[in-house]
Amino acid sequence: RYYFVLKMIIINSTNFLILLLILISINKINGEILSSHSFEPPFENIDSLGGQRIIPNWRAGGTTVINSNFIRITPDRQSKKGALWSRKAINVPAMSSVFKFRISGQGKNFFGDGMAVWIVQNAYYTEGALHGFIDKFVGIGVIFDTFKNTENLAIHRDVTILINDGEKTYEAMTQEVQGCNINVRYHNERADFSVTDMSKARITVDDNHRLQVLVDAKNTGEWTTCVDITDLPLQKDWLKKAYIGITATTGQLADNHDVISLTSYSDYEVMEKVEEEKDNKRLFESFPGKDFDERITRLEETMNDVLSKFNVLDHHIEHEFVAANDHIDNMIAKLNSKEESAETRIEDLETLVKKQVDGSITDRLDKLETQMKGNLDKKINTLETTIDRKLTNKINAKEKLNNNNKSKEPEISTSSCNCSYWPFYLSILVNLGACSWFYYVFYMSKKKHLL
């Protein structure tokens, strides 16, 4: 009987502990950080192949590179697209997220395109034309647009809110523009630029379908209410099925689009408290005693400043290193491309020159040969005609003279007449042979000279 009682006590105690753990877990989910939808530096997890850093519960795509202290969605290069997408659905009815990011670049007057945070029911990233994502989705998009397109100035906002129930096109979503104009971009070439420069955005969706977006553009602690929508035109439980995604793109103009951290909470008040603690967090805590002299306190303050500077320096060095590495990779790619193009052009030029030279020499030789042969034939024909004409004239004159003196002189036989002209015909044949030999020698010497 005692054993049975003891067994029941143990069973009840076990059930009580399980129930207590469940309650603790529920309170943690409802009132604390949503770890599956949050990340912050340092990023130290490496993939199984050891090739690159990863963030648990998130997928990186496109040009996204995860560094130790920040995530670069796109580099300051043309025509780039990158994304970071959560693997799990949010699965809570209300959420508040703090998004820390930095948009910066070398361009002073020309830059783009922008970055976006998506809270949508798409489990996977799909590349599209809307800042890297498609315009058919269920949920909301918060777009930080740094490029002012002259064709769409009327609907441009530095921060634009898009809401879609899965049926609207981009034109339908922007019929009533919702957002605000606030500069969230940094110029890298400014003397006061630092890697500590960043912007913050608070995105809150509560149980009553209220959407609120606040922006701290220069990380000064001064928050600007960008939008406050009291009734989202979405289904009641849409947020539970939603995922969080971050995208960025560049076009003909470019910028660095960096993400510092994203922290999501299921309770707004908890978010405010935790974020305030983060902002006031000291790297080196001081514990001054009642009667301890001031030197200890100053030492602690100094150590805190030193550690803060080391932290900034580490971030700055990595930022500059990534930028330099990107410059070098881009330069090498351009040089390789130009080298390949130059080699192709040289080969084409060599082929063209060779073809033209070969064709030109052949054409010139053929033309010269034809011209010389034609001139020689013409001269020989002219010589033959002249000789025939002179012979004919002489023969006719001789016959006429013979006819006139026929009665006075004896008759000359045909054979003797023909024989009297054979030296002349022999001379003609010799001249023709000499001309032919001269033409052959001249042609061969000319051809050898040209070659």
User: pLDDT confidence of 199, banded at 50, 70, 90?
Assistant: very high
Q: Which helix (H) or strand (E) holds 316?
A: helix 294-404
Higher per-residue pLDDT: 306 or 422: 306
Rounded to 5 degrees, φ, ψ at 341 are -65, -40
> End-to-end distance of the chain based on CA atoms, in angstroms?
123
> Hey, which residues does 216 pair with through a beta bridge?
200
Question: Is beta strand 185-187 parallel, antiparallel or unpaired with respect to 95-105?
Answer: parallel
What is the C-alpha R_g of the chain? 48
Q: Which long-range contacts (CB under 8 A, 24 or more apart) does 376-385 make?
A: 376/435, 376/439, 379/435, 380/432, 380/435, 383/431, 384/428
Residue 341: the pLDDT is: 83
What mean pLDDT comes out for the span 100-116? 93
Q: At what angle do helices 422-450 and 294-404 cross, to 10 degrees?
A: 180
- Mean pLDDT score of the chain: 83
What is the percent of the chain with per-residue pLDDT over 70, rounded to a whole number? Answer: 83
Query: What digits encode the pLDDT tens for the residues 135-151?
Result: 999 999 999 999 988 77
User: pLDDT confidence of 425, banded at 50, 70, 90?
Assistant: low
Residue 136: the pLDDT is: 94
3-state secondary structure 144-190: EECCCCHHHHHHCCCEEEEEEECCCCHHHHCCCCCEECCCCEEECCC
Q: Is the pLDDT of residue 58 over 50?
A: yes
User: pLDDT confidence of 416, banded at 50, 70, 90?
Assistant: very low
What mean pLDDT comes out for the span 363-392? 78
CA angle 426, 427, 430 (to 5 degrees): 90
Q: Is the pLDDT of residue 22 over 80?
A: no
Query: What digits encode the pLDDT tens for the residues 59-81?
Result: 999 999 999 999 999 999 999 99
Rounded to two decimals, what is the model's pTM?
Answer: 0.65
Q: Is the pLDDT of residue 365 over 80?
A: no
Q: Is the pLDDT of residue 228 over 80?
A: yes
User: pLDDT confidence of 167, banded at 50, 70, 90?
Assistant: very high
Q: Is the pLDDT of residue 181 over 80?
A: yes
Task: Read off the DSSP letter of residue 46.
Answer: B
